[in-house]
Structure 1
Amino acid sequence: MLCQSSEELEAFVKETMACTQHGKVADYIPALGRANPDDLSIAIQYPDGKCVSAGEISKEFSLQSISKVISLAFVLMDRGPSYVFERVGMEPTGDPFNSIAKLESMPAKPLNPMINAGALVVTHMIKGNSVEERFQRLLSFVQELAGDSTIDYCQEVAESEIETAHLNRALCYFLKQHGIIQEDVEQLLDLYTKQCAIEMNCLDLARIGLVFALDGVDPLSGKQIMPVDIARICKTFMVTCGMYNASGEFAIKIGIPAKSGVSGGIMGAVPGRFGIGIFGPSLDERGNSIAGIRLLELLSKKYKLSMF
């Protein structure tokens, strides 16, 4: 079993702390730009209820792109795979997460749900009669996955994102022109930015990672929260597209299903074993937590976590 004590995990955190100085916080979103680049924390949640952690684990951060894999699971449950994948593809892009380039090929269908264009299409599919109803349905699902009914979104982060969402607006209008999005763009952006601004700590994130790792079962409640096949689809996307355009390198060096966000969060789901939640807001040039990836690399090497 991985790390039996917090002291052991704390040693790994200390070993990787120096990496933070080589990265940069996501200051293009003003609310995220105020993060402390030296923060680094990790939690590992086991099926038997044991949780081992290190760093300032109570510190909350917004999910950002980690929310993409959760909204995908939710929409797959809502709509079914056939409906979803008629509108968004299954292929890695190799491009940055906010790229518009490949949408210009016909048909103008986003290549996968982990890039911004694909995530916007997925969020567009969330059922409900208003932004508030749709968001509350998604938030309830997040709360259930984490076993924490207090989870909410940060209004400041959502407002900061919507004010600077020029490229996402462009993606939405392009998709709307081609009939893939069929709602008001500002309404969709309101929902999407709230989704990305959902906040939690490493403990919550590790528990969500555990549910994906165990094929949709929350062992702490005993409930099958999502169908096995939907958990499988999501983990596959996490392997092929979850770490932006560093996903191939991540699969070779670390080899676990994972999803990152530009707030510095990383959710890991080691199949059949445990969930991992990491927060380290200092990012590399691809938008991934620089110390978080190094931390996972050390853990994967020592404990042979790679599924390959």
Structure 2
Amino acid sequence: MQDLIDKLVKKNIPFSEKGKVANYIPELDKANKNSLGIYITTLDGKNYHSGDYKTKFTIQSISKIVSLMLAILDNGEKYVFSKVGMEPTGDPFNSIRKLETSNTKKPYNPMINAGAIAIASMIKGKDARDKFQRLLDFFKKVSEDDTLDVNYKIYCGESETGNRNRAMGYFLKSEGIIEGNVEEALDVYFKQCSIEVTTETLAKIGLFLARNGKTSSGEQLITPRIAVIVKTLMITCGMYDSSGEIAVKVGVPSKSGVGGGILSVVPGRMGIGIYGPSLDSKGNSIAGINLLEDLSEQLNLSIF
């Protein structure tokens, strides 16, 4: 396995030249375009890593899978999906268009920005600070990493440049999708996207889902039903508007973020974390996707 991932990382680094590092959030553009790293952790306790696997980066949209878990724990599946749909959009992750043109007015799924802002509004707590602290504590339990924290430079950049997200938040409030304070929901959302992680963090969250919601000590943090919901939405919606293509080519639940991360779950087998900040036109790590495709082919990972 170690020889294989060393070889595949080396093979796929050149794809980074074909993409661009995200620059619409201050600080993200400081990433090394040619970085590529991977961390794999398996159910039987083995760990493999290669490339720039120790590099820290912000989790961005990958955080949406963890906030969804907590929102369902806090409110129940029925309430959550009365406010947010389960369907892919075919649109960019930050698109506003279908919010107004769809019959229901609710976001199509929790993996796009509008859906994730609605989900953030459902996290319980007395104020934005309390809500985010609960979410961060939950992140630490799921990833089994007590050192997780926010990159405050990125958070400030998210907040300062997040006008499209604010527009979505207030539209959702006007339609009754968000019932609480919009600014609190946005603050939780901006902070969750700014949590700093490594490929190991992502791999451990992937392993948590591969175990159907159990930690390494055997604690059942979420029900198997919630784990199934999250993994299914990752397959159908997790890689933005490339989700269908990646489901065909890779075939495992995956979620990407514009910080360059990809988290993948191989149910019953392993969690995978990848970092490659050079993005394709859809916002996915271009070298990371190619690395994931090669890995899936070599190890026969597809669940289909």
Question: TM-score higher than 0.5 here?
Answer: yes
Match of 1:142 among 132, 139, 142: 139
Deviations 1:100-127 (A, max 9, x none): 1111123211111011111100000000
C-alpha RMSD over aligned residues: 1.0
Q: Hey, what does 2:64 align to over in structure 1? A: 68
Match of 1:114 among 106, 111, 114: 111
Q: Hey, what does 1:102 align to over in structure 2? A: 98
1:49-64 matches, within 5 Å, as 49-64=45-60
Q: TM-score, normalised by structure 1?
A: 0.96
Q: Hey, what does 1:235 align to over in structure 2? A: 231
SS of residue paired to 1:28: coil
Tell me the CA shift for residue 131 of structure 1. Answer: 1.0
Mapped to 1, the partners of 2:183 and 2:134 lie a distance apart of 19
SS of residue paired to 1:138: helix
Mapped to 2, the partners of 1:175 and 1:222 lie a distance apart of 38
Amino acid at match of 1:202: T
Deviations 1:185-237 (A, max 9, x none): 3322211100110111111110110011111112x222212110000000000
Tell me the CA shift for residue 27 of structure 1. Answer: 0.3
Match of 1:164 among 161, 165, 189: 161
Q: Hey, what does 1:177 align to over in structure 2? A: 174
Identity %: 52
Q: Is contact 2:120–2:186 with CA below 8 Å preserved after alignment?
A: no
Q: Hey, what does 1:198 align to over in structure 2? A: 195
Q: Does 1:297 align with 2:293?
A: yes
Q: How many residues align?
A: 303
Q: Is contact 2:19–2:280 with CA below 8 Å preserved after alignment?
A: yes
Q: Is contact 2:150–2:194 with CA below 8 Å preserved after alignment?
A: yes
Q: Does 1:129 align with 2:126?
A: yes
Which ranges of structure 2 fall in alignment gaps of 5 or more residues?
Answer: none
Tell me the CA shift for residue 239 of structure 1. Answer: 0.2
Mapped to 1, the partners of 2:152 and 2:57 lie a distance apart of 12
Mapped to 1, the partners of 2:134 and 2:181 lie a distance apart of 20
Q: Does 1:207 align with 2:209?
A: no
Amino acid at match of 2:197: M
Amino acid at match of 2:74: D
Q: Which runs of 4+ in 1 moved over 3 A?
A: none
Q: TM-score, normalised by structure 2?
A: 0.98
Amino acid at match of 2:126: N
Mapped to 1, the partners of 2:37 and 2:273 lie a distance apart of 8
Which ranges of structure 1 fall in alignment gaps of 5 or more residues?
Answer: none
Q: Hey, what does 1:258 align to over in structure 2? A: 254
Mapped to 1, the partners of 2:45 and 2:75 lie a distance apart of 32
Tell me which moved more, 284-293 or 69-78. 69-78
Q: Is contact 2:256–2:284 with CA below 8 Å preserved after alignment?
A: yes
Tell me which moved more, 278-287 or 198-207. 198-207
SS of residue paired to 2:21: coil
